[in-house]
Chains A and B, each alone.
Chain A
Amino acid sequence: MKITVDGTTSELEPRPGQCLRTLLRENARFGVKKGCDSGDCGACTVLVDGAPVHACLYPAARAADREVTTATGLGTPEELHPVQQRFVDAAGFQCGFCTAGMVVTAAALDAEQRADLDEHLKGNLCRCTGYRAVRDAVHGVPAGLSDSGGTGERVGAPAARRVVTGTEPYTLDTVVPGLLHLAVLGSPHAHARITAVDVTAAEALDGVVAVLTHRDAPDVLFSTGRHEDRLDDPDDTRVLDDVLRFHGQRVAAVVAEDRGTAEEALRRIVVEYEVLPAVLDPEQALRPGAPLVHGDKDAATSRIADPRRNLVAELHGGVGDVDAALAAAHVVVEGTWRTQRVSHVALETHAAIGWLDDDGRLVVRTSTQVPFLVRDELARILGLAPERVRVFAARVGGGFGGKQELLVEDLVGLAVLRTGRPVQFELTRTEELTVVPVRHPMRVSVRLGADAEGTLTALAVDVLSDAGAYGNHSPGVMFHGCHESIALYRCANKRVDARAVYTNTVPSGAFRGYGLGQVIFPLESALDDLARELGIDPFELRRRNVVVPGDPFVVTSDPEHGGVDDGLRYGSYGLDQCLDLVQEALGRDALPAPPGPQWRTGTGMAAAMIATTPPRGHYADATASLEPDGTWLLSVGTAEFGNGTTTVHTQIAVGALGTTADRIRLRQADTDVTGHDTGAFGSAGVVVAGKALLVACDRLARHVRRLAADLTGTPLAEAVLERGGVRCGDRLVDLVDVHAEALRRDGCAPAADGREDAARRSVAFTVHGFRVAVDTATGEVRLLRSVQAVDAGVVMNPVQLRGQVEGGVAQAVGSTLFEEVRTDADGRVTTPSLREYHVPRIGDLVDTEVLYADTVDAIGPLGAKSMSEAPYNPVAPALANAVRDATGVRVRDLPLSADRLWRALQPPRADA
């Protein structure tokens, strides 16, 4: 058929069941993204004869003789479409994976439609921004950005013009000749053993290149969760296992010439299962006689606390005497809260392409936050030396912790080694929502005691964390969840009991906040109840009890009395300011409540603390060098997934090297470009890698100034870096000449390394406040006002920081009001698409006012602290406290969905 795409007409023959999205992408039109493949996210929006459609739902054959326009056809990086320009000017994206579709949709709206974006952008999901910046972009409200600047300035993302035109390549936006496709057969049982598997019919299918089962998998136990120290996570996972421990777990994989053939072949694999008793509930999993999820494992070898009790990890300890303190307390508050399974829903699904390079080295291009950690573990799994594996990431379409896992690279590596050919494995959205690790669901019981003045005398938590079928991240999430949440409060008597347990359900993993959100929600809710009992303002209760500089960080031990020093310090302290800022701001500018007697209004707040980097070692190497043409080359390990590290790293270099962004090239997220980088998790992208880069740039600057000073006979102190040269008195030495001088004198280009080990870590603070209205007849919650104050130290980029906070709040509002990966009585997920799993749409949110504490951190680079996870953590309790204030009812389970809240508001029934 004849089709015109972005002005070019060609003859293409679509397959009968093909959709327009894949036809376009197969022909290298990568401005069309896949976020869901089911018409729910809008990332694949294109214009067909001028009308916007979701290309994933549009039969390709129907595009015959039509004109298709993608984001790439609307404008080019050099010559942007006016709407694209507005998205650049408003910083209307973070990871940018949704942006191409967002731009195409926005470009098709008329004035009337633009006036009702809640309705007309509801089919375009953005997981990063919280939509305020998108709204500004559509309405042409600029953010006052410059193209270049040092730290503290309002600088736009270097990739902006490519992102808005769909030309910035993400993981799968590359043409690889001879590419094979991999698809996976999922387990139909929550717990079963494969007794027989016959792949004959699958292998016989035309186009099938290989079928992989547990017989083909290396006999190596590993964890999908990745940390600097691989011993942090239990070794309980195989690439393909003969025991299946949750619905959807990999049974077999097919590698074929195309994805459709691979899927067809999966249906021809004959598997016999011995169905095993399953345990789906963490309480039951701990009971004697419960089915054992990893009963076959050795505790010491796999580093599982007790596989005979389904216990992944546990923590028991405290200071003082909680029971005595509770007995003596003026007021005691207690309760049990539950949080649900939440999916990250990064718009780009997990995906990787692997191949062998000319040296026979395995190369994997993957959507990851941790390329170095993936490289190391992949080499271990496949029995290769680490130098025989290269892992890199292009721009990543969102992470939120979900890509601190090794979820696709192992199968890709295995398939590449098996076939010798390039192999792609792209997860579907349904796989993302049914088999990819979720946020750990937790049941948390809290007991608080206080004296009459509101001084905390007892603080106890009992945490039961559902690890799901594999232990990835479960120890870390449990320890971290119980750490800064509890250390935030000064209290003589503390007790923590925490257990993470296996169940035959979808595994839990790393999620923004890393356990803190699940513990802060009950703790801050209980504090709200305590304030109410005492008749004290909730802000005031925090002021009386939060730690201040000089106080130790105490959870189960006091570091000053025999506890371990984990390097945590008050690099700066702005919690007092955050409390004041939110309290002031919450009293003004709220939207009016909807009319009607059924609406009740209320306010709520909560506070959170988080370490600025993870404990137990977080390392980054960075290199800066001067190029022959007088430009600068920076090499860092950090991946860009909307975290904005590329922007901030460039700003750091601009400041340190006295140059402008156009003279800087940043290579990143590639095991070939720098020594090591633990990765962008635990909010470490700016404070660890950024610090390493600052060291490298400062060293390089000094070296280059020295070269120029020597060339001109100028004292070093008078040699100053400028854009393009070094000012030495009244002479400007061109950087090209400096480079030549270095080659002549040293035999190599000027270069310097930096390294950061995060041995000392700071703490960041966030305080959130909400005003809400609740419809007591339907349970609907309307947000009337949302305010967050953050202590991020010195603000490196105010536009970007605001976006991070807004996005974190939006994701947390989703976790609080809407989102839940639900399962049925057999453990099967019943929310397999974005139609069932509701992430916030543009009309579900209210703008959040973001306020900044004024502090300078003594530990982070240039006084900065991290602010990626922190904004998420106080939102759920602040919102729940506002609903409590409005209704008088405390709902202790999330999500606070309308139906659940409505039920809680009903008077108790006489027959109940």
Chain B
Amino acid sequence: MDLPGVEAFVAVHDRAALAAAHDGDPATAVLAGGTWLFSTPQPQLRRLVDLTTLGWEPFTVSAAGLRLAGTCPVSAVADVPARPGWAAHPLLRQCVRALLASFKVRSVATVGGNVCLALPAGSMTSLTAALDATAELWSADGSVRHLAVEDLVLGDRRTALRPGEVLRAITIPDAALRARTAFRRTSLSRLGRSASLVVGRRDPGGGAVLTVTAATERPVVLRYPAVPAPAAAAADVAQRVEATCGWFDDVHGAPDWRRATTLRSVAEVCGELA
């Protein structure tokens, strides 16, 4: 939809111009794909700063792992070529497909946009939090800081981003991409908005990680020295969620149901990875 309050559309071509344009003013928003920004009224916004003209390489694959630019289209994540030994590679496509948005939206929407929007059902958050990814954040003052995605997304539509900060890239370490993964998703309708998304990971060294998103307002990550027994893992997840953020409640699923389906998924994931 039109955003009639917007008075300026600023295309930036380098970091200095970005810093000058995006100074933390709440009336300014950075624009990547724009698929969420343009989907709902934004009466508070006066200026859009277009990040796509910065020309960031969508993704780079290296021995260090997979680096996804903030502006990497979501659909491109499914096309990342696998390096030998990347057992977690199918998870990329699973998380792309987990979005309610159509493939037409996913080809425009970006990884950075999805994570920074911080919707519980944001499956780029699910993907990157589950794989120990770190976000590279650019501040308006020219500095850079790094934050685990797990700590970047704080709640429903809440992040640790500071005013003027921009998500430059998210890096998934090679080690995590070598893990075996298991994936479970639940929704009120077959290809609908995720109400629960559980990713289990079994690292080559034997360690295991369980990540719950969508059913909770922020990623909940549990780490184990080995794949836990299904029942124990479910009990751990219930205990952790209930002691911290609780089960998410909105029109996409009741919290008691999210709890039940999540714990079932956790148990299944552990069974699959055992």
Contacts and interface: CB of A to CB of B under 8 A. Distances in A.
Interface of A: 15-19, 21-22, 37-40, 42, 45, 51-54, 56-59, 61-62, 105, 113, 118-120, 122-124, 258-261, 263-264, 267, 428, 777-779, 817-818, 822, 830-831, 833, 835-836, 838, 841, 843-844, 897-900, 902-903
Interface in B176-191: 186, 188-191
Interface string B182-207: 00001011111101000000000000
A899 B188 contact: yes
A42 B257 contact: no
A846 to B, nearest CB: 11
A17 B45 contact: yes
Contact of A37 (B1, B9, B31, B189): B1
Of A16, A37, A264, A836, most B-chain CB atoms within 10 Å: A16
Interface stretch (B35-43, B60-68, B164-172, B238-246): B35-43
Given A51-B107, A57-B35, A841-B191, A19 B1 contact: yes
Nearest to B256: A903
What are the 5 closest A-B residue pairs judged by CB atoms, nearest first?
A123-B102, A260-B4, A17-B6, A17-B3, A899-B257
Contacts of B47: 16
Contact of A261 (B4, B31, B35, B42): B4
B34 A57 contact: yes
B261 interface: yes
A841 B191 CA distance: 9
Interface in B10-68: 11, 31, 33-35, 38-43, 45, 47-48, 50, 52
Interface of B: 1-9, 11, 31, 33-35, 38-43, 45, 47-48, 50, 52, 97, 100-105, 107-108, 186, 188-193, 195, 250-254, 256-258, 260-261, 264
Contacts of A119: 97, 103, 191
A34 to B, nearest CB: 9
A53 B101 CA distance: 12
B9 A57 contact: no
A264 B193 contact: no
B191 A260 contact: no
B9 A61 contact: yes
A843 B187 CA distance: 13
Nearest to B195: A899
Contacts of A263: 4, 41, 43
Contacts of A777: 260-261, 264
B188 A58 contact: no
A777 B186 CA distance: 11
A897 B188 contact: yes
Contacts of A56: 1, 38-39
Contact of B9 (A59, A118, A258, A843): A59
Contacts of B258: 899
Contacts of B256: 899, 903
Of B2, B41, B100, B103, most A-chain CB atoms within 10 Å: B2
Given A15-B4, A259-B2, A118 B251 contact: no
B254 to A, nearest CB: 4
Of B1, B4, B31, B42, most A-chain CB atoms within 10 Å: B1
A62 to B, nearest CB: 7
Given A120-B103, A838-B189, A902 B4 contact: no
18 contacts: A15-B2, A17-B4, A17-B7, A22-B1, A39-B38, A52-B107, A57-B105, A59-B34, A61-B9, A61-B50, A260-B5, A261-B4, A818-B188, A818-B189, A835-B193, A844-B190, A899-B254, A903-B254
A259 B5 CA distance: 11
A903 B254 CA distance: 10
B4 A264 contact: yes
A69 B191 CA distance: 28
Contacts of B5: 17, 260, 264
Interface of B is mostly: loop
Contacts of B97: 119
Contact of B2 (A19, A779, A818): A19
B261 to A, nearest CB: 5
Contacts of B108: 53, 57-58
Contact of A45 (B45, B104, B260): B104
Of A118, A778, A841, most B-chain CB atoms within 10 Å: A778
A57 B251 contact: no
Contacts of B191: 118-119, 122, 841, 843
B2 A54 contact: no
A899 B253 contact: yes
B8 A267 contact: no
A553 B33 CA distance: 60
B40 A38 contact: yes
A118 B42 CA distance: 32
Of B5, B50, B189, B250, most A-chain CB atoms within 10 Å: B189
Contacts of A15: 2, 4, 6
Contacts of A843: 190-191
Contacts of B8: 16
A597 B159 CA distance: 41
Given A53-B108, A56-B1, A902 B260 contact: yes
B107 A39 contact: no
A280 B186 CA distance: 32
Given A17-B5, A58-B38, A263-B4, A42 B102 contact: yes
A12 to B, nearest CB: 14
Contacts of A830: 250-251
Contacts of A902: 257, 260-261
A258 B4 CA distance: 10
A151 B39 CA distance: 45
Contacts of A37: 1
Nearest to A845: B190
A836 to B, nearest CB: 5
B104 A260 contact: no
Given A259-B4, A830-B251, A59 B38 contact: yes
A812 to B, nearest CB: 16
A299 to B, nearest CB: 38
Nearest to B192: A838
Contacts of A62: 34, 50, 52
Given A15-B2, A105-B104, A838-B188, 20 more contacts: A16-B48, A19-B1, A22-B2, A52-B104, A54-B104, A54-B105, A58-B34, A61-B9, A62-B34, A113-B103, A119-B103, A124-B102, A258-B4, A260-B2, A778-B257, A822-B251, A838-B189, A844-B190, A898-B188, A902-B261
